[in-house]
Amino acid sequence: MNKKKLAQFHSQLESIRSELMGGVEKSNLGVKENEVGQVADISDDAARTYNRQLEGELEEQEWKKLKQVDNAIEKINTGEYGICTQCETTIPEARLEVVPYTEFCTQCLSEMEKNPKATTITEKNPFEEN
């Protein structure tokens, strides 16, 4: 991958990262927004109340995504960006353009989808036992 392309992915990742950080920070601080919030319209507040119900789940997803983004940035720094973590083949740039923080090539990903238990790191649902 050429440097220009790499720099492009890097800035893309950075912007995704700061977006995620903003979201995570907000939910951690318990939404304090007196200074800036005055300007926000009312619908934003309504949406927030609604979103709060989903927050727990969303937060976890955001953390996961944030971690992936961090990994990807790290890989750019070490020169390993765009290489599948699983099989170590080069991930097509077209795919990276869609999901710049992806860790896996499409083939590995589809295999994981077929067999999710093999890759999920023992996050077993305790209620699942029958």
Radius of gyration of the chain (CA): 18
The two most distant CA atoms of the chain are separated, in Å, by 54
Specify the residue, 20 or 105, whose C-beta has the smaller distance to Zn ion.
Answer: 105
What are the residues whose beta carbons fall under 8 Å from the beta carbon of 73, sequence distance 6 or more?
Answer: 10, 13, 14, 17
Whole-angstrom CA distances from 113 to 29, 97, 106 are 35, 21, 10
Least CB distance from residue 91 to Zn ion, whole Å? Answer: 7
Least CB distance from residue 82 to Zn ion, whole Å? Answer: 11
Of 68, 85, 100, the residue nearest 1 (C-alpha): 100
Least CB distance from residue 99 to Zn ion, whole Å? Answer: 14
Specify the residue, 69 or 109, whose C-beta has the smaller distance to Zn ion.
Answer: 109
Contact footprint for Zn ion (CB under 5 A): 84, 86-87, 105, 108
Report the alpha-carbon angle 36-61-23, nearest 5. Answer: 10
Specify the residue, 37 or 92, whose C-beta has the smaller distance to Zn ion.
Answer: 92
Specify the residue, 9 or 102, whose C-beta has the smaller distance to Zn ion.
Answer: 102
Least CB distance from residue 98 to Zn ion, whole Å? Answer: 16
